[in-house]
Amino acid sequence: MLLNPKRYAPQGLDDHSTALMKKVITFFETKGKRQLKQDDRQGTWYADFLDLVKREQLFSTLLTPAAYGGGDPNVRWDTFRNCEFNELTAFYGLAYWYTWQVTILGLGPLWMGKNEAMKATTARLLREGGIFAFGLSERAHGADLYSTEMTLTPKGDAYVANGSKYYIGNGNKAALVSTFAKLAGTGEYVFFAVDSQHEKYELVQNVVNSQSYVSEYALHDYPITDADILSRGPDAWDSALNTVNVGKFNLGWASIGICTHAFYEAIKHASNRVLYGKHVTDFPHVRRLLTDGYCRLVAMKAFARRASDYLRTASATDRRYLLFNPMVKMKVTTQGEQVIDLLWDVIAAKGFEKDMVFEMAARDIRALPKLEGTVAVNMALVVKFMRNYFFNPGEFPAIPRVREARNDDFLFAQGPTKGLSGIQFHDFAAAYASVSLPNVELFKEQIEVFKEFLVVSATDPAAVAAQGKDIDFLLALGEIFSLVVYGQLLLEYRNLEKDLPDDVLGQIFDCLVRDLSGFALQLYGKPSSTPAQMELCQKMLRKPAPDAARAERVFTEHLWPLRDAYEMSP
């Protein structure tokens, strides 16, 4: 399940794609950990990595839709393949992943728009090694699109753009910056493209202390013609939100990459350290911390892989991905934080040392839940699906695992972003009925009580009205809902793949039973919870089924063999 660059043999990738990934691995292993860490400490712009991107046509091959690839069969937007690249770049450092991620965001409005000449230009710039940027958020308003102050003003037969954007990755070197604005006088939304090297484009500052350039930029009477406009009106609005739909999925994969490298460092250090005459890994609490960390990491990857199947098979009549997609962004990234915390409790002060990739991981893992919409923003989105998910399922064909080397056309033709509360899902109970393990059975019992909680809550109109406005209450409610979805896709993954054995699955659900109990306790303690709700919260509290032999098998058979499996070249 875990990426190991020293034994890289991905399942499901074609030969050309595998060769590209191996070139990335060779680049980083040749660079070595010492230089990697030095570049991180000194905030060195990753020009060497971007030279590789240009030389090997990485972004051009991976991020150009097939229709604009000039007939090259290797050029396509293939989400399964892109997940590999996400994980691999983040494994070595978030900055390398970040320049890729914000390029994806910048490309969204370009590929989603109807400006075919600009699409041809975009494909050419990618071939030339260009990176891209997404000019959406502003200093005073963040990503509040309604409050956007960037303005496009008519001037003769053309326009001039004025305003500033903030927190825009790649804004220093982007070949094109997709910029969101309003038309002066009408307030109509518009996306247009600007060149970061233009004289009317002011690069104000890098707003973070990092290798990455997260820019503030300003446009001063920047000249715009119709040839530069990507979309207008509702299309521009939809492009903004649909671009985030494409891009935020990647954050979960970045967490997986970061945690995987940190795990290798942690288990290697712990297994080779002797304290009080015993190996650190002989202490029961250390074995528990490592086992929990491993199981949560495996679950992160299994869930994200299964969610990618729904993203790749989405259509105008099947928009289930709009639940699973923010779950990868929100749930997987917060699980990533937990994994790092568990591992850090094992290696303690070692996690601060300057020659450890872990030191970067502990810092960078915190960023991912807070990018492309905070956890709260994505939770507010997820809660909209709860009613239909539990009480109004629809009929859908079974979704297989999707690893085919094909272009994911729908990602750039998602259409209007309205009607989320009307989206239906297949019956989640089918996945849970397919597996009978002690902790899965306990989790099912918790789910049934949670459904009862929702029904009882709906019978109290006053409480519904008050709690519907209480974001703090809804966040705790959404956490329990998200765990149900998380478990569902884990079970679906397990039924399709052969790499999630019963012992590991049972240990994963040991974590999920504890997690759901914890969120039920939080919900119990909310000021607005009613006596009826509090009683049901207590019924959701469960202790996982104790099985010391299973936990020992997971450690000895799945974790212990990884103690010397990978170490980055010095």
Residues of the chain with CATH 2.40.110.10: 134-233
Around 459, how many Cα atoms within 13 Å sit in the side-chain half-sphere?
7
Pick from 475, 483, 421, 427: nearest CA to 450: 483
Cα separation, 79 vs 63, in Å, equals 10
pLDDT for res 112:
98
Q: What is the DSSP string of 421-445?
A: GG-----THHHHHT---HHHHHHHH
Cα separation, 328 vs 330, in Å, equals 6
For the chain, list residues with pLDDT below 50: none
The position carrying tokens 């994200």 is 304
Residues of the chain with CATH 1.10.540.10: 5-131
40-78 tens-digit pLDDT = 999 999 999 999 999 999 999 999 999 999 999 999 999
Structural contact between residues 483 and 444, judged by C-beta atoms closer than 8 angstroms: no
Pick from 258, 340, 249, 263: nearest CA to 303: 249
Residues of the chain with CATH 1.20.140.10: 239-392+427-561
* Residue 46 DSSP label: -
Backbone φ and ψ of 276, nearest 5°? 55, 35
Per CATH, the architecture of 134-233 is what? Answer: Beta Barrel (2.40)
Cα separation, 145 vs 138, in Å, equals 9
Pick from 449, 461, 459: nearest CA to 524: 449
pLDDT for res 463:
84
Backbone φ and ψ of 434, nearest 5°? -80, -10
pLDDT for res 391:
96
Residues ≥6 apart with Cβ < 8 Å to 559: 267, 290, 291, 294
For residue 536, the one-letter residue type is: L
pLDDT for res 104:
98
For domain 5-131, give the fold. Answer: Butyryl-Coa Dehydrogenase, subunit A; domain 1 (1.10.540)
Query: What CATH code would you report for 239-392+427-561?
Result: 1.20.140.10
Structural contact between residues 11 and 510, judged by C-beta atoms closer than 8 angstroms: no
Cα separation, 120 vs 127, in Å, equals 11
For residue 1, the one-letter residue type is: M
Structural contact between residues 291 and 562, judged by C-beta atoms closer than 8 angstroms: no
